[in-house]
Amino acid sequence: MKCPCTSGLDFAACCEPILEQQQKAATAEQLMRSRYTAYALGKVDWIIDSQSPDGRAFVDRAATEQWSSRATWHRLEIVEVKDGGPDDTEGFVDFKAYYTIADEAITHHEVASFRKEDGTWYFVDGVEVKPRPFKRLEPKLSPNDPCSCGSGKKYKKCCGKPGMAV
C-alpha cells in the first residue's frame, strides 16, 4: 500500500518503520510525514511520543484521538522545508494537510517547528497559516456611482438594482 503521507513510496518503505519505532526519522520532514500518517491511521501513541518531551503534558489525548478518527485524511503537501536535515538540530516544515470532517473539506496549513535532542527528532510546536485576505483590485462601487457597464445610469438604477446580474 502507498504511504498515506503521499510521498509516493510504499508505506513499508516510508512511514511504517518510523511509526513502529524500528528506525528514527532522519529529518524533520520525515517526522512530519510520519505524524501525518499517524493521524491518518489513528496511531495516537506516535503523535504523543513524537511530541517534544517538554510539550507532551499539553497534548490532549482524547481530542487528538477524536480529530484523528473523525477526519477522512486525503493528502499531505509539503510547501517548504527550512533546515531540519540529518546534521541540523532544528527545522521548520511548512505543510498543508487536506481532510474532510462531516462532508466539509478542510485544509490545515501550518508551519511546524522541530528539534533534535540526543539524535531524535521531535515536534515542538506549530503556527497555523491563515489565508491571505481578499483584496479587491477595482474600487468598490457605491450606489450613486456611474454604472461600470457604461450605460450612463447610476449603479443602483442599473446593474446594482436588486435582481440584476452584476
Predicted TM-score of the model (pTM): 0.79
Distances in whole angstroms, Cα of residue 125 to Cα of each of 32, 54, 83, 90, 120: 12, 11, 15, 12, 16
Q: Is the pLDDT of residue 165 over 70?
A: no
Cα atoms in the Cβ-side hemisphere of radius 13 Å centred on 138: 4
Residue ranges, comma separated, of all CATH 3.10.450.50 domains in the chain are 11-128
Q: Name the CATH topology of 11-128.
A: Nuclear Transport Factor 2; Chain: A, (3.10.450)
Tell me the pLDDT tens digit for each residue of 25-71.
Answer: 999 999 999 999 999 999 999 999 999 999 999 999 999 999 999 99
